Each structure stands twice: as C-alpha cells, then as structure tokens.
Structure 1
Amino acid sequence: MGRLLSSAFWGELYDAAILRRPLLSLALTGAVIALCGFYVKDFRLDASSDQLVLEHDPDVVYYRELSERFGNGDFVVVTYTPKEDLFSDPSLERLKRLREALKSLPRVASVVTILDAPLLKNPAGTLKELKDNIKTLESPTANKKLAIIEFRDSPIYQGNLVSADLKSCAIQVNFTPDTALDELTSRRYNLRERRRLGKLSAEDAGALGQVERQHRKMTDDHRSWRHDDIAAIRRVITGFRGDARIYLGGVPMIVDDIISYIRTDVGVFGVGMILYLVCLLALIFRDVRYAMMPLAASVLSVVMMMGILGYWHWDITIVSSNFISLQLVFTIEIGVHIVMRYRELLREGPGRTNAELVRETVHSTFEPLFYAILTTIAGFTSLVFCDIVPIVSFGWMMTLGLCITLLLAYVLIPCILLLLPKAAAPPPDAENEFGHRPAMFLARVADKRPWLVYGLSALLTALTVVGCIRLEVENSFISYFKKSTDIYQGMRFIDVELGGTTPVDVIIEFGKPAPPKPAAAKPSSDDDFAAFGEFEEEGQDPSKYWFTTEKLETIERVHDYLDGLEATGKVMSLGTAWKVAKGLNGGKPMDDFGTALLFRSMPGRSKEVLIDPYVSVSEGQARGTTRIKDSMDHLRRDALLKEIKRDLVEKAGLAPGSFRVSGLMVLYNNLLQSLYTSQIKTIGFSTLALFPMFLLFFRSLKLSLLVIIPNFIASMLVLGVMGLSGIPLDVMTITIVAIVVGIAVDNTMHYIHRFEEEFGKDRDYRKTMFRCHGSVGHAMLYATLTNATGFCILALSNFIPTILFGALTALALAIALLMAMTLLPLLIIHIKPFGPEGKLG
C-alpha cells in the first residue's frame, strides 16, 4: 500500500505507459478524441428562463402553478411608430398589411392590433345596446374620432396597446401553443419533484429517463421552430421599416437572441482566441513546434469536453458559455509551463538525450502543476454550494474540464516532444528578448522599493473593502445588451412607451367559493341587464355568485395602488374591466347581482381578454399583473417588492396572508438576492479547501499562509472593482472569484516550488528571488499574458455579461501576477519560511 501511495511508483508507471510508448499513447488518445468528436453534434446551448431561477425555490413552484391556471401564452410584441399620424388612413392601411403579413406566418395563431380592439364607446351606450353592437376600427360605421378618444382614455388600451402620446402602438403576435411540449414539461417537473423528495419508484425512474429524452428532442424542435419564427417576423417587419419605426420585443425573442449571442461568442471568440494565441505563442517562443504543442493540447481538450457534454446531454448556459475560453487558457497555461521547463533544461544541458530531457521535464513540473490544478478545482467546486443551477453545473463542468486538461497535456506534449527530432538548444539570451526585462523589473521593484509594494498592497486592500461594501446585486435583462443593438432599443421602447418589461403578479386569495345559494330578485335599477338572460335557471356554476362588488372594490384598490407606483407600467386586473363597466353603466350603482351578471355575460372575445387571465373562480383567486420599468436607473427591485408587500396591507387594506406576489421579477430577484450568500459560501469553501492543500504540498504553516495573502487580495479585488465601478454581482460575475483563485494559486505555487529548489543553492533569499524571476517568472509572465489578453478578446462581444466577464477576469489575472511577483517574494524574504540565510552545510 505504501508503494501505491509513493510518487516514485506513479512516476515509473507513467514512464512505462506513456514515455516508452509515445506513438501508441498518441494513437489511443487520438481514438478517444475522435470518439468524443462524434458527439460534438449533440453539444447545445440553453438560455431558457428555467436556467435563471433558484433550485427548489417555492416561488418557482407557485409561479408554475399560476402559469397553468391562468395561462401564459407564447407571444412577441412588435412596436409600430409611423411617420405620419398613427390613426391616419395610410398608417392604418399599412398597419393592416403588416398584420396580414404576420398572420400568414406558420405557427402564428393570431395577431392583435388597434384594428382589432373592441370599441366600447363608439358611441357610448347602455350595456344592453353594447352586447350586440361592439365595433372595431375596421367596422364601416365606426367613428374614428370617438375611437381615438377611447384609445387615449381607456384603462384597457392606454399605455398597453397604444402609447400615451398616441404616436405608437403595439402588435401582439401570438404563437400557436405547443400543448404536447407543455404537458411533457409538466410531467417531467412532477417526476423530478418526486425524485427530489425520494418518492420516485423504479417504474417512475424509467419513465423519467424516457420523458427526459422526449423533452430534450421536443425542446430542440420547439427552439428551432421559434428561431425560424423570430427570423420570419424580422423579415416581415424589415419590409415596413421604410415608412415606420418598428421594434421587436418579448421573451421568445430575448431567449432566441441570447442563444444567438452565446453561439456567436462560442464560435467566433473560440476561433479568434485560438488564432490570437498562435500569434502570441509564436512571438514568445519564436519556434513553431513550441507554439503549436500547447495550442494543440488546448484545442483538443475543448473538443473532448464538448463531446462529453454532448454525450451526457449537459447543456451550457449563459453562465457556462465561456467554458471554451477557460478550457483554452488553462490548457495553454499548463502547456507553457511544460515547454518553458523543457527549453530551460535543453539550454542548461544541450548534450543530454531528448528522452532524458522530456522525462525530467515531466517529473519536475508534474507535482506543482498537479497541485495547481487541484487547487483550481477546489475553487470551481466551491460553486456547487450555490443554489443556482447553472452556477452549480458550471462548477462541475470546469472540474471535469480541468481533469481532462491535465491528462491531455501530460500525454500529448511529452509524446510529441519524444517523436520530434531534438531541437537545437535555445541561445542563453533567448528569453531575455521578450520576458526577461519585465520579470527583472518586478524583481528590482520588490528589492529596492519594498515600501511601495506594501503601500500599494495596503491601498488595494482598503479599496477592495470599500468596494465590497458598495457591491450590489441589482440587474436587469435590458442591461445585458449594448445600447446600439436592436434588442436593447426594442426593450427600452416597450419599457418606456408601452407599459414596462418584467411582469409582477399580485394574487389575492378570496377562498374557494361555497355552494351556490338561491339568486335574489333583480332590482329594477338594473333593467339594462334583462337582455343578457343568464340567471333564469338555477345551476351549480360557482361563478354566478363569485363576482361581488366587495371583491371587485378590493381588487380595484390593489389595482390603483400598483398603478400609482413610479416603477410600474401598465396594470391589468379585474379592476380594469370593473372601471369600464362602471363607466358604461352611466354611473348608476351596481349591486352584486348586476355585477355577477355583467361579468358572466361579457361577449366571448372581451371575456378572453378582460376576465379569464385575471380570475380563477374555482380556486377563489384574483390576479393583478403589472410590468416593471426595468430601464429606470434608480430601480431597486428587492426594496420595491418589499414595499409592495407592506403597502398591500397598510394602504390597500389586504389581510396578511391573503395575497402573494409572484412573477418573473420575483424569481429573478430571488436569484439576485441569493448571490451575496452564494459568493460568501464560495469564498469560504475555497479558503477552507485550499489551506489544507497548501499544508499538504508545502508541509509548512508559514508558506501556506504566505500563499493565501496575495491570492486573497487578487481575488477579492475583483469584487472591490465591481463595487467601486457600480457593476452589479450577477450569475456570471459571481464565478470570476473562483476562476481567479484557481489561476492566482497556480502562479504562487509555481513560484514557491521553484524558490524552494533554488534557495538550496546558496541560501540567499535575495539572489534566489532574482533567479526565480529569471526562470519560472518567465513562464508565469507568459501564461498570464496569454490568458489575460485572451480574455480581453471577449470585449468585442455584443453581450454585456461576456464583456464584463472578459475584462474583469483579465484585470484580476494581471493583479494576481503582480502580487505573485512582488508581494509574495517580499513576504518570503522578510518572513524567511525556509530557514535562516547562511553558507551551505
């Protein structure tokens, strides 16, 4: 057993299995890569709303129940702002042609415009007269002047179907419901819940596997169809943009565009980073073989990882979309350290055989690189303590990727070096032309100006503390896109002109209805209702007695409260229909009988629009919905939701526990608020996991503490910069700390490992520092240069989270290098963890 645990045993096994059979090793590795490459076709992206919620969040369960109960159709919104007056004949004729063109598209169920809106005051009349005489703008007898006044003043249309200035209108394009997918999604969710609760039988487990496969295929088909639908709608509206300003918005469009952005970033920036790294490595090494080996290992590791993800149906999300960039830079970093060590040994011993050089390269670099990868894995596995599914998935994904990176780098690069003819030894000053001067400059700064290093470190620490205190989690979907993009402009226009963006629902619980009672006699004041003839027979329909003036007045108070908030846009509820009904009744009071009769007798289309989405009689629930203006600069979502919950009791008069706030904004806010806790958990776990590893590797408490200090400053500085710059913490930036911890630890471990080796030569801390900067410092500098500048390429994206991810990671890597090459050697010189200076034995 002791032999199995010894490094010598594993070294001999590696020599026998890999180094003595390089051609066979490459052939087997190539076969595995080819197999993985076959499954790359199943690699896919997922940007659905399910990926932006907390796991096991009770609000998610409640939201899904409400979606099934009240309906939550799939639709996009087209905004239409003509150059001439909106209600002019040419404008309405063009709008009609646009509507018909959209209607003709496959999978479009209906299109709703101002041309289709029922006019309830054209002219104003009694409820009895209205029932059989509802007009639209297209009705031959419609009065356009009265219609314009109604669109301006109606609580149904104003700020919803038309803008307040009557210059723009919304066109709602409703897609045909995919009932089969909806039913399968519901079944999959129920089976997953049973599995989570430990109540899944063997039969159900088999059913769940089949449902998962079916759901994946149907989701892929649905996503492909919806992408085609969005593209077709864009083609249609492009033909009308010469005479009007037109934007496209809606959740399906946002999801489709995010997937398109991610796919573009994965492809373009993956290829772009590879080409950039080719040029940079060629500049550093000035030798094609040394440049291509790390690059080949990094590209092939990405292919392997994509194939594995495709085989396991492990989708990448917004959070994990940058895993290709990370996989590339981590593999490049390992490859650079291996190649740099090989070149160093070749320069020192040009007479040695190639096999000896490769063997010593592997054995001298594997231990620090193994522990460096292990500590990086610890940083990423800290992400599994989040409650956010895509972040947890990203943590496991990168853990697997790092294992593949280490294995592939130590098979490919040594085997290729063995199979290629031995290269000529680099000249003694080969490295000096590129990396020597900056490395030696940092050494001289640490040697001659220690007060400057300590002072800047203290200043960075203080700024980090201030920034962390100011760090916020406020964010919105609109902030994910550049202002120059169509998606941003469309979302902002809808947000400002047409009632807001992110929905919030208030569900009022009135209790399930009791068994029906005999109907009271109709009062004479409501003779207008006689023509509706709805209550002549006794029945068991609970809705006959559900609609009462007391309930509707309560709903109206909630409606008016929400409508009075600065952050809310359009509000819709039963209160909307109640306001219209009171106006149509000529101001006469309506009792419970007349109220119930009105709501039950409403014509079909009006009932579908004004009643059905806002009440569930069987559950005794009324729903008020509004949309939040996400583009407001001073919007604080968590504070707003708390204010709404408080004021619904204190101002709207609802009893505590008789209502619940729901909607996409609630789910997204829950996710954002969990980021603080999740970030603390990840930092805490990283620290607790890394410290024992340092103790195991260095076998020294002093050295372990020394490693923690510069790494902690570099990683926490990211949060400080975000706080000082007003950049909010979100599902992508929360991962940067884990990434920086991993890479920063790599640098410090390499440096200390080499320092310990070099110190034994003369036991002079100062001279050892200069030797380390002149050797391993080059590899650290090159690795950080390739990594940081590679991440900077992401700044060319149109997706703001990707830009921030690239810029902040690059900054953190640069700071981590400075800390490792200035503060770390200073701490080593002053604390003297390797013992006192002096002459050798």
Structure 2
Amino acid sequence: MKPIRISGGLAFAILIIISLLSGTTLGWLHLNNAPQTYFPQNAPAVQFENALREDFPTDEVLIALFEGDDLFSDDFLVPFRRLTQQLQALPLVDRVLTVTTVEQIRGTEDGFGVEPLLSEATMASLEPAERRARVLDDRFAPGLLTTEQGDALALILRPEPLDGSLQRLALETGLLEAVAEQELTDKLIALAGQVVLDVAQLRAMLHDTMIFVPGTLGIGLLLIWLMFRRLLAVVISALTISAVVHFSLALLIIAGKPYTLISAILPPLMSALTIAMLIHWFNALTLADRHGLSGAERIDWAYQRIARPTLFAALTTAAGLASLGFSPIQPIAAFGLVAAGGLLMQCAISLLLIPALLLQWDHAPWARGSASVRWLDRPVRALRNLGLRRAGWVVGLTLALMALGLPFISQIQVETDLLRFFKSQAPISQATDHIQERLTGVTTLEIVFDAPERDALKSPEHLRRIAELQSWLNNHPAVTRTLSLVDLIEEMHWGFHAEDPAYRMLPDNRALIAQYLLIYDGDDLYELVNRDFTRTRLTLNLSLHGARALNEFIGEMNAWLADREMGELQVTAAGFGRLFADQEQLTIDGQIRSLAVAIGLIALLMLLMWRSLADTALTMIPNLAPALLIFIIMGLFGIWLDMATAMIASVTVGIAVDDTVHLFHAYRRRRRSGRSVVWSLARAYRQAGRALTATTLILCAQFLLLTTSSFVPTIQFGLLTAIGLLAALLFDLLFLPALLVVLSRPARKRRAEVPIPT
C-alpha cells in the first residue's frame, strides 16, 4: 500500500480549513447540562410530565436560606419583602414564596378569607415576637418557609419553564444581585434546589473544559517532543489535534446537541486518541530511518506498516464509541456518535494528509530523537519474555485471578445521585445538607390523581382516598413534607367554623366542598388541582437523592396502593423525582445495549481484518478482559454504575483494541512469511511494543488529568479508564504472547511427532 500523492501545501491548506471552518461553529455551542437533556423525550414518563405541566407549574425550585437573630424585625423583613417583590418582577420567575407572600386561610365573620401570611398591613400591626408567633402557628410555613424555632427564613423561587443551564445561571445570578442590592448578603447562608444543582454542574463543566483541553493538548505535545525530538512532529500533532477536536465539536453543534458534562470529556478524549494514532506514525518513521530509508521511501515504508492497522484501529474504536449511541440517555448517545465521527476524520487525516505533509517537509532523521524513550523497550522486553518463557503459568494465573474477581461484579450498584456527584466539601453539598437539616428535603416528587369525569375530585370519597395515601406518606421516614388539595379544603372548613380545631378535617358533604372551592379566591388552589377537577397532585419533599432510593420509595408506595381500593382514581408518580428515578433503568439498558453492540461491531471488524474466526476470537480476549477488570474494581470498591461510568467499558474496549490491532498485524505478517511463533512475536514486539506502550502511557496520563475535576463521575471515568488501558497494555504485552505460545504447542507437538522419511 502506498499513500495517495497530493502536495504538502494542499494537505496543509485542507487541514487548516477543516480546523477553521469547524472552529467557526463554536459560537453556536449550546451549554446545557439541565436534567431534561438526559431524559429521552419519547419515554412515557417524559410525555406524562409534559402533559402534567399543561395543568400545573414546574416543581423545579431555588431555595435560599437566611439566618439571624432579627429575622422578624423591620430591619430584616422590610428589605426581605422588597427582595421578594424585586425577584417576582424578573422575567424568568413564576412565583416567589416567602412568609410575606404565601397564602394563609383565616376565619372571618362571614366564612373564611385568603391573605398573605405576613402582609404589609399585618406586619405594621404586629411586634416582631407576634409576627414570629403568627408564622410558627401557621399549618404550612414551619419546615417549609421557616425552621421550627423561627431562627431561619427561606425564600423559595419557582421559575418559569427554563431553556437550559444558562437561564438557570442567570436566575441564580439575579437572585444574588438582588440580595446584595437589599444588603442581605450577610444573612444568606445557603442556596439549594434543582436550579442551584444545575448551576453547580455547569460551573464544574466549564472548569473541567478550561483545564482538560489545554492540559491534554500540552501533555500530548510534550510527550511527542520528548519521544521524537522533532519540531515537525509537534507541529503536525498540533494541527491534527486542532482539526479533529474542532470537527468533533462541530458535529455536536450541527446535530443540535448540547454541551454537557458528558460531552465535556469529548475534547480531551479526541486529543488523547489523536496523539496515540500519531505515535504509531512517528514510530514507524523511526523504524524506517533505522533501516537506512529516507524521503519518499521512508514514508512509503512506514505507511505500508501502519495504514491497515490504523484504518481498522480507527474503525474498531469508532465502533466502540458509536455503540454508546444505543444508550437511551441522550448526552451519552450524542457523545458516542460524535466521538466516532471525529475518529473517522482523524483516520482520514492520518492516511490522506499526513503522508503529504511528511513528503513535503520531512528531511531530518527520526531515529536520533528516539533515544530518550528507549527505556520503554526494557519493560516491553521483560514482559514479553516472561509471557514467552512462562506461558502456561501466565495464562493459568491470569485466568484464575479473573475468575476470583468475577463475584464482585454482582456487587455493582446502579445509582445516579446528583448530590453525591460532588465531593462532600463542595458548596452545593454543604448547602443542601444544611437546608435539609433545618427545613425540608430538596428532592421533589408528585403523586398525580386522575378522575374520569368533571368535578369528580370534589367527591368526599375520592378526597378521603387521597387523604389516606397522604397520611401514609407523612409517616414515611423519607418524606419531610406533603401538600394536597385535601389540606386546602381542611383549612377552608376550619376557617369557615371560626378556626375551631375540631373542624380542621375533611367535610363529608360534596355540596359544602363545592361551595368552599367556589368562594376560594387565592392562587394556591389551582396549583394543586386543574379547573375541571379531574386531575390533582400531591406534592412531596423527600430527604432522598439517589435514583435507586427513589425507585425503592416509589415501589413501596405502589405496594401500599396495591392493597388499597382507589376506586376510579388513577395514581401516577411524576415530577422531577420520578424522571430522576428512571435514570436507574436507563443506565442499565444503556450499559447492556452499548457494550453488546461494541463487542459485536468490533468482533465483526476484526473478522474482516483477519479473515479468521480463530484470530478474531484470540484478539478479542485481551480487549474484553480490561472491561471485565473494570467491572470487578467497581464492585470491589463500591463505585456506582452511573451516567459517566456507564461509558467506560465501551470506551475502553474501543481504545484498547487499537494496540492489539497494531501488534497482532505485525505478528501475523511475520507468521505468514513462514517464521516461528516465538520469532514472530519477538520481532513484532520490537517493532510495535514501544509505540503501544508509549501510547498507553500518554492516554493514561491524559485520562488521569480528568481526576482533577470537581465532578466525581468525571474523576471516576478518568481513573477507571486509565486503569482499564493499563490492564489492556499488560494483557497485550504479557498475556497475549503467552496465550499464542500455549495455543501453538499442540501444533508444534504434532509436527514433532511426524516421522522423518527415510
């Protein structure tokens, strides 16, 4: 095989054009890590959620907690009231709930009335101690808007439907600016809720991008220089990485996919994979130089040895990444498909443009610069020799160790906990813990009741069934607060009867209930029931965070409902908590699908390359084993299978196969020329061993850079991928030659037993 001859100037121009044209699209990069981006829009729970929001406002909130000794004095409540009014005027805000705005039902001479808990007139007529007592005496405020002791007040901001993380960032920024303007910053202790959590993830994503992109590029270029001491190698690497990374991000933008914490891994991954590909190129040039070749002969010699394995390595890695496209979690699917597209562009540059650049400008020797990394030959040679000389022991011990580790795989827990994604000392973790200790759980869940006909939810029978479920929920240790239509009707009944505690109950008279609902003139009612009275929701605050715990809670509730007669009512769990709980099954489905597809596609490509079922099966072993090892480590150390770690197996298998392809291709070429197994292995490792060791070390260094992230799944992704690649290297350098020797023994024995003709 020889490269297509084009001029170096044209190749350089094409490379620059790819980089610049792709780079111009970066202005349209949509930063959005909102939870909604992770939910498949065709999922039944998502479709139910969308229909639910046509009747009711979102359950997404931002909670601000203020603490101090003078919270009920004019010095605090007056600016606090102004703060509430200022925030309510913001275009992204739907409603602000505080003790000055939340509705309270009170008895009147002719029935009941609805008014703010602490209206301006009420505040003027009460002393601070009386205001505090009024708030603490309210049925709903303690635990939601104030602590049980009244030494902290909460502001709950409910946004309009938001379009992405940047709007959530604008909302949080607007709140902080308004707090500062009202000179209440010293009282603001904590921010929490879904809005704040999304903003924290956005900041983590931007932080990671600012570190990982230059970091991986710098590490890669430095190691290229240290290995080959050629400025040309550094320049070609920089141009190729720029083109591949920009092209990959352009694919993400053209596909209309957002830039998330998952896709933030894309630039460092593509940079690392490109460096790995280039090392094989430059190593082949070094070997050609040692053979006394130069100019076009040197380039052609190197091309013949790397073209086919580079093509199939790119295809197999792309297959492993593209398999993530079968994940139902959209950012994972987008990441896999875009990365696969970037790998194909990388392959095209490697096989079509780099030979032309080298032909135009490569006139200096390569072998001289490789002396600085000759130390890599020693561990390669030592591992190879161990595999060749103790083949049976290596194979047997490896298989035994893997078998001992298999039981740990069953201990892997599938979990997605957005708060546990941050370290315990992170501000968002500490703020959330503080708010949950002082007020209420920040995880929301909605229980939706659907009735078959108009005004059905005015029926005492239906309302009693809702009340029974609410009573069970209130006694559940994970539930910190509930609110339903029943609560409002009970308050109306209480207020109508001169606030007599004996009447704080659900009336058993449909006509009376209908009358109460008719004369109610507040805003809270239709946030809990639609105007046809065919759908109502019971809102919950939970102290749970993980998808697994939420699923267990929903399962307990469904089991309780199964033993009860709910009549015509249909009961459905909904809201953010339900969507988040579904992540558990989505993660499992995505892992199974993507890994199965990755293995199938890579095996098919191997079969096309080797044209042998035996060789295909043989080369799949050292690439599947690292993925198996990663699962063993996850089970052993209690690392969750979550949105980030669910990608590791497919990514590792896809990357690890590159070195196996280069190594086995060199081995087969010698075997087909009639050389022995041992001689072919020795020469193949001498040709490709240094390159595959160097590429693995560089990839590991670049993946380990991800451990500097503040986002735990990114840390785990980087660490486990590096471990998987190191394991793949050991399997290639130690296990594979041992396995080849063991498998060749029967054939050698049969040849030895053939009688020599006389």
1:425–1:98 distance in 2 versus 1, CA, 3 Å:
closer
1:579–1:442 distance in 2 versus 1, CA, 3 Å:
farther
1:296–1:438 distance in 2 versus 1, CA, 3 Å:
farther
* Match 1:299 to one of 230, 233, 242: 242
* Match 1:66 to one of 48, 52, 65: 52
Show the 5 A alignment for 1:151-230: 151-152=135-136, 154-175=138-159, 177=160, 219=163, 224=166, 226-230=168-172
* Match 1:136 to one of 115, 118, 126: 118
Structure 2 residue 249 is the aligned partner of structure 1 residue 265? no
- Give the C-alpha shift of residue 149 in structure 1: 4.5
For 1:314 and 1:724, how far apart are their aligned partners in 2? 35
The CA RMSD over aligned residues, in Å, is 3.1
Give 2:511's aligned residue: 593
Structure 2 residue 99 is the aligned partner of structure 1 residue 114? yes
Structure 2 residue 244 is the aligned partner of structure 1 residue 244? no
Contact 1:446–1:822 (CA under 8 A) maintained in structure 2:
yes
1:80–1:832 distance in 2 versus 1, CA, 3 Å:
same
Deviations for 1:778-836, whole angstroms, at most 9, x for unmatched residues? 11111111111101111111222221211111111111111111111110111129964
Give 1:36's aligned residue: 22
SS at match of 1:166: coil
1:599–1:437 distance in 2 versus 1, CA, 3 Å:
same
For 2:586 and 2:227, how far apart are their aligned partners in 1? 43
Moved more, 228-237 or 420-429: 420-429
Letter in 1 for 2:32: D
- Give the C-alpha shift of residue 402 in structure 1: 0.9
Structure 2 residue 410 is the aligned partner of structure 1 residue 410? no
- Give the C-alpha shift of residue 165 in structure 1: 4.2
Moved more, 338-347 or 479-488: 479-488
SS at match of 1:68: coil
Contact 1:504–1:664 (CA under 8 A) maintained in structure 2:
yes
Show the 5 A alignment for 1:86-485: 86-87=71-72, 90-92=75-77, 95-96=80-81, 98-99=83-84, 102=87, 107-108=92-93, 111-118=96-103, 120=105, 125=107, 128=110, 130-131=112-113, 136=118, 138=120, 139=122, 140-142=124-126, 145=129, 147-149=131-133, 151-152=135-136, 154-175=138-159, 177=160, 219=163, 224=166, 226-237=168-179, 243-349=186-292, 352-427=293-368, 430=371, 433-450=374-391, 453-454=394-395, 457-462=398-403, 464-485=405-426
Letter in 2 for 1:565: H
Contact 1:46–1:259 (CA under 8 A) maintained in structure 2:
yes
For 1:426 and 1:622, how far apart are their aligned partners in 2? 76
Contact 2:627–2:724 (CA under 8 A) maintained in structure 1:
yes
* Match 2:480 to one of 560, 563, 569: 569
Letter in 1 for 2:556: E
Give 2:588's aligned residue: 676
- Give the C-alpha shift of residue 57 in structure 1: 1.1
Letter in 2 for 1:159: G
Contact 2:696–2:725 (CA under 8 A) maintained in structure 1:
yes
Letter in 2 for 1:640: F
- Give the C-alpha shift of residue 328 in structure 1: 0.8
For 2:713 and 2:168, how far apart are their aligned partners in 1? 24
Deviations for 1:280-302, whole angstroms, at most 9, x for unmatched residues? 22222233333443343122211
1:136–1:236 distance in 2 versus 1, CA, 3 Å:
closer
Contact 1:463–1:720 (CA under 8 A) maintained in structure 2:
no
For 2:404 and 2:579, how far apart are their aligned partners in 1? 33
* Match 2:563 to one of 650, 662, 680: 650
Give 1:700's aligned residue: 612
1:434–1:360 distance in 2 versus 1, CA, 3 Å:
same
Structure 2 residue 539 is the aligned partner of structure 1 residue 621? no
For 2:492 and 2:325, how far apart are their aligned partners in 1? 54
Contact 2:179–2:185 (CA under 8 A) maintained in structure 1:
no
Letter in 1 for 2:311: F
Contact 1:559–1:575 (CA under 8 A) maintained in structure 2:
no
Give 1:737's aligned residue: 649
1:415–1:174 distance in 2 versus 1, CA, 3 Å:
same
1:575–1:455 distance in 2 versus 1, CA, 3 Å:
farther
SS at match of 1:478: coil
Contact 1:26–1:411 (CA under 8 A) maintained in structure 2:
no
Structure 2 residue 549 is the aligned partner of structure 1 residue 636? yes
Letter in 1 for 2:280: H
Moved more, 452-461 or 593-602: 452-461
TM-score by length of 1: 0.81
For 1:280 and 1:409, how far apart are their aligned partners in 2? 19
SS at match of 2:473: helix
- Give the C-alpha shift of residue 421 in structure 1: 4.4
Deviations for 1:460-488, whole angstroms, at most 9, x for unmatched residues? 52355223211222222212222333222
* Match 2:4 to one of 3, 8, 15: 15
* Match 2:684 to one of 772, 779, 784: 772
Unaligned runs of 5+ in 2: 753-758
Give 2:755's aligned residue: none
For 2:662 and 2:31, how far apart are their aligned partners in 1? 36
SS at match of 1:70: coil
* Match 1:560 to one of 468, 471, 475: 471
* Match 1:57 to one of 10, 33, 43: 43
1:135–1:475 distance in 2 versus 1, CA, 3 Å:
closer
For 1:386 and 1:441, how far apart are their aligned partners in 2? 41
Unaligned runs of 5+ in 1: 1-7, 183-218, 514-541
Moved more, 409-418 or 778-787: 409-418
For 1:698 and 1:784, how far apart are their aligned partners in 2? 23
Letter in 2 for 1:783: T
1:436–1:354 distance in 2 versus 1, CA, 3 Å:
same
For 1:826 and 1:788, how far apart are their aligned partners in 2? 24
Give 1:537's aligned residue: none
The percentage of aligned residue pairs carrying the same residue is: 23
Structure 2 residue 415 is the aligned partner of structure 1 residue 487? no
For 1:553 and 1:405, how far apart are their aligned partners in 2? 65
For 2:140 and 2:516, how far apart are their aligned partners in 1? 17
- Give the C-alpha shift of residue 115 in structure 1: 3.0
For 2:661 and 2:624, how far apart are their aligned partners in 1? 14
SS at match of 1:775: helix
Structure 2 residue 708 is the aligned partner of structure 1 residue 796? yes
- Give the C-alpha shift of residue 85 in structure 1: 5.7
Structure 2 residue 727 is the aligned partner of structure 1 residue 815? yes
Give 1:517's aligned residue: none
SS at match of 1:430: helix
* Match 1:511 to one of 440, 449, 452: 452
TM-score by length of 2: 0.90
- Give the C-alpha shift of residue 88 in structure 1: 5.2
Contact 2:228–2:370 (CA under 8 A) maintained in structure 1:
no
Moved more, 422-431 or 815-824: 422-431
- Give the C-alpha shift of residue 144 in structure 1: 5.3
Contact 1:508–1:659 (CA under 8 A) maintained in structure 2:
yes
Aligned residues: 741
- Give the C-alpha shift of residue 23 in structure 1: 2.0
For 1:346 and 1:759, how far apart are their aligned partners in 2? 24
For 1:273 and 1:431, how far apart are their aligned partners in 2? 21
- Give the C-alpha shift of residue 670 in structure 1: 2.0
Contact 1:77–1:173 (CA under 8 A) maintained in structure 2:
yes
1:128–1:490 distance in 2 versus 1, CA, 3 Å:
farther
